[in-house]
Chains A and B, each alone.
Chain A
Amino acid sequence: MAILLMKKINKLINNVKRTMFTSSLDTFISLFITSILFVCTVKLSKWFFLKANWTVVEENIPLFLFGVFPADQRWRPSLWLIILISLVVLTLFTPSWSFFRKLLPFAWIAVIPIGIALLAGGIGLSPVASRYWGGLTLTIFLMMSSLFLAFPFGIILAFGRQSKLQLIKYFCSIYIETLRAIPLISILFFGQLLIPLFLPVEIEINRVLRSIIAFTLFVSAYIAEDIRGGLQAIPKSQIEAAKSLGFNTFQITRFILLPQVLQIALPALTNQAVGLLQNTSLMSILGLVELLGISRSLLANPKFIGQYMEVYVWLAAIYWFICTIMALVAQNIERKTTLVKLI
């Protein structure tokens, strides 16, 4: 044991010597960077353990999680988050051969209506207006429902862009290029201000729904491009083979193209999902109290004034944590659905 360990350490030292200290310039750069890292680490730990006052985080955990959701109803968003966590755990640990795994996609889809039912109430639960939704719950809800809507929409756009019907082709191309040319923040502004104008006065769409629509419109254009990338990776000769077997266009799409495209595009789609999660924070300047929004209103409270460092470090940690989980789930799906590497 000890000898093995020694060998490993030796190998590491050799590696470090070889890669970082071969020439005098290398040595200088290595020492310089190491000392900067060292100073930063010391300063950060000092702040983290000695100076920072974490009470602002500790006292407001429910606020970060649920926003201003009525206190006596907090079990509802809690339950939804627990369902989500269980789903993540199930996804990560169900073996690929198990029957249960076939049900997981449906569970992931079902979790959105369940979330709406739990948050909004109505059926047996007291209704809670969407302006009381907030915190991490709202952040995740925004991300998941926008993705859920943008995904099929993006697939349709991508295939529309390849359509033989010129009208459909141009409509999809123009849509995709336009939405990719506009910054997200202005689409969100338009969503908040313009969507109500297009609708009759009696129909009032709440802020949450409006932002989901705006995110969906935006992300679907990017998803469409990722899907198109996947489509281009499939050789035309495969489509010819399918045609010569008598498949129609729908069957070729459903059985030949989509399964391969989704597998090829999965890493890119994961990026979209992670990007979307982070972009939901833009809604904090458009009147939603999602994770960032609730933190900003918390910092406006005189009691916690000036403690923004603590709050933002805490926020960064939460966003990092959620993104990591998403990456893990995506990796897992990739591993378990990839029977053969296509490219």
Chain B
Amino acid sequence: MINPIVSANELVKTYSKGLIALNNISMVVNKKEVLVVMGPSGSGKSTLIRTFNGLESFDSGELEVVGITIGTDPEDRKVREIRKRVGMVFQQFNLFPHLSILENITLAPIQVQRKNRIEAEDHAMELLSQMGIEKQAKKYPIQLSGGEQQRVAIARSLAVNPELLLFDEPTSALDPERVNEVLDAMRKLAQDGMTMVVVTHEVSFAKEVADRVVFMDSGKIIETSSPNVFFNNAKEERSRKFLNQIIK
């Protein structure tokens, strides 16, 4: 049996004011799978995927990511080992504004993976042309549109050859006409067999690309279904209510 890339068992996380952000979450992400996470705002989606690369800690439960187990009080070294092998794309792009596009992408390969500069730059240019923005390599983040910045962010996280990519609402901060260029890039990644966990409200993307959809509410996983079941015939009342709200 092949081990899953992420396996979470009874994860619980409480924020300081007694707010339960993760309530007994158990789930797996398998290799080459695209898992879409949906749910109303504040349901704990971000918190969940941020525990996967150690940006958030948790209070109890078990978590194994890319074969590394992290506990409730993980060592820095272990967390960093995971982060080197797991990429993350944020809602707000979070590019480094003082570095050019090319430097944004090559910094981690050069400094973290100790690749030589020429090799790293070649790889970066390859990724940029895969994203359709190789012409922007010399520019700075503020000179790019949101959609382009997000594609740079994707290229940046791909530059370290991750085994898993986490997306936290990658298109929510974009102008509507810019959403598809980013989703297209993600579709391509899925076709190439990248393992991805995507928090998104993009129904058409989920229908088309997801292998499974996880629906969360109030820190709990309410339902895990294939997209076909989830969007046409959801098992749970709460899922149907949520879908009614986002698909008018």
Interface residues in chain A, defined as those with a beta carbon under 8 Å from any beta carbon in chain B = 235, 237-238, 240-248, 251, 255-256, 259-260, 263, 339-340, 342
Q: How many residues of B contact A (CB 8 A)?
A: 29
Partner of A246, one of B83, B141, B153: B83
Tell me, rounded to whole Å, the shortest Cβ–Cβ distance linking A236 to chain B: 10
Give Cα A111 to B107, complex, Å: 32
Q: Check if B97 sits within 8 Å of A260, measured CB to CB.
A: yes
Q: Check if A245 sits within 8 Å of B157, measured CB to CB.
A: yes
Q: Check if B111 sits within 8 Å of A255, measured CB to CB.
A: yes
Give Cα A251 to B156, complex, Å: 16
Q: Check if A243 sits within 8 Å of B96, measured CB to CB.
A: no
Task: Report B86-97 CB contacts with A as 1/0, cut-off 8 Å.
Answer: 111010101111
* With A246-B108, A251-B111: A339-B94 Cβ-Cβ less than 8 Å: no
- CB nearest to A240 among chain B residues: B55
Tell me, rounded to whole Å, the shortest Cβ–Cβ distance linking B134 to chain A: 20
* With A340-B98, A342-B97, A342-B98: A244-B111 Cβ-Cβ less than 8 Å: no
Give Cα A242 to B87, complex, Å: 11
Contacts of A263 in B (CB 8 A): 98
Q: Is B112 part of the binding interface, using a Cβ–Cβ cutoff of 8 Å? A: yes
- What 8 pairs across the A-B complex have the smallest Cβ distances? A241-B94, A246-B84, A244-B88, A245-B108, A246-B83, A340-B140, A246-B112, A237-B94
Partner of A237, one of B92, B111, B112, B157: B92
Q: CB within 8 Å of A: which of B148-205?
A: 153, 156-157, 160
Q: Is B78 part of the binding interface, using a Cβ–Cβ cutoff of 8 Å? A: no
Q: Is B142 part of the binding interface, using a Cβ–Cβ cutoff of 8 Å? A: yes
Give Cα A244 to B83, complex, Å: 5
- CB nearest to B140 among chain A residues: A340
Give Cα A248 to B157, complex, Å: 16
- CB nearest to B50 among chain A residues: A240
The CB with the most chain B CB atoms within 10 A, among A240, A245, A263, A342, is that of A245
Q: Check if B112 sits within 8 Å of A245, measured CB to CB.
A: yes
Contacts of A259 in B (CB 8 A): 98
Tell me, rounded to whole Å, the shortest Cβ–Cβ distance linking B45 to chain A: 16
Q: Is B53 part of the binding interface, using a Cβ–Cβ cutoff of 8 Å? A: yes
- CB nearest to A256 among chain B residues: B96
Give Cα A260 to B97, complex, Å: 8
Give Cα A3 to B54, complex, Å: 71
Q: Is B117 part of the binding interface, using a Cβ–Cβ cutoff of 8 Å? A: no
29 contacts between A and B (CB under 8 A): A237-B90, A237-B94, A238-B96, A241-B90, A241-B94, A241-B153, A242-B96, A243-B55, A244-B53, A244-B55, A244-B157, A245-B83, A245-B108, A245-B156, A245-B160, A246-B80, A246-B84, A246-B108, A251-B111, A255-B107, A256-B96, A259-B98, A260-B98, A339-B140, A340-B98, A340-B141, A340-B142, A340-B143, A342-B98
- CB nearest to B83 among chain A residues: A246
Contacts of B92 in A (CB 8 A): 237
Q: Check if A247 sits within 8 Å of B140, measured CB to CB.
A: no
Contacts of B97 in A (CB 8 A): 260, 340, 342
Give Cα A263 to B97, complex, Å: 12
Interface residues in chain B, defined as those with a beta carbon under 8 Å from any beta carbon in chain A = 53-55, 76, 80, 83-84, 86-88, 90, 92, 94-98, 107-108, 111-112, 140-143, 153, 156-157, 160
Contacts of A245 in B (CB 8 A): 83, 87, 107-108, 112, 156-157, 160
Tell me, rounded to whole Å, the shortest Cβ–Cβ distance linking B245 to chain A: 28
Q: Check if A247 sits within 8 Å of B108, measured CB to CB.
A: yes
Tell me, rounded to whole Å, the shortest Cβ–Cβ distance linking B221 to chain A: 23
Give Cα A235 to B97, complex, Å: 11
Q: Check if B112 sits within 8 Å of A238, measured CB to CB.
A: no
Contacts of B55 in A (CB 8 A): 240, 243-244
Contacts of B156 in A (CB 8 A): 245
Q: Check if A244 sits within 8 Å of B112, measured CB to CB.
A: no
The CB with the most chain A CB atoms within 10 A, among B84, B88, B94, B141, is that of B94
Give Cα A260 to B95, complex, Å: 13
Contacts of B157 in A (CB 8 A): 244-245
Contacts of A240 in B (CB 8 A): 55, 90, 94
Give Cα A291 to B76, complex, Å: 53
Tell me, rounded to whole Å, the shortest Cβ–Cβ distance linking A185 to chain B: 39
Tell me, rounded to whole Å, the shortest Cβ–Cβ distance linking A319 to chain B: 35
Contacts of A242 in B (CB 8 A): 96
Tell me, rounded to whole Å, the shortest Cβ–Cβ distance linking B151 to chain A: 15
Contacts of A251 in B (CB 8 A): 111-112
Give Cα A339 to B98, complex, Å: 7
- CB nearest to A339 among chain B residues: B140
Give Cα A247 to B112, complex, Å: 6
Contacts of B84 in A (CB 8 A): 246
Contacts of A340 in B (CB 8 A): 97-98, 140-143
Contacts of B94 in A (CB 8 A): 235, 237-238, 240-241
Contacts of A238 in B (CB 8 A): 94, 96
Give Cα A201 to B83, complex, Å: 55
Contacts of A260 in B (CB 8 A): 97-98
Give Cα A235 to B83, complex, Å: 20
Give Cα A339 to B138, complex, Å: 12
- CB nearest to A258 among chain B residues: B98
Known: A244-B87, A340-B140. 16 other contacts (CB 8 A): A238-B94, A240-B90, A241-B88, A243-B83, A244-B53, A244-B83, A244-B86, A244-B157, A245-B112, A246-B84, A246-B160, A248-B76, A255-B107, A259-B98, A339-B98, A342-B97
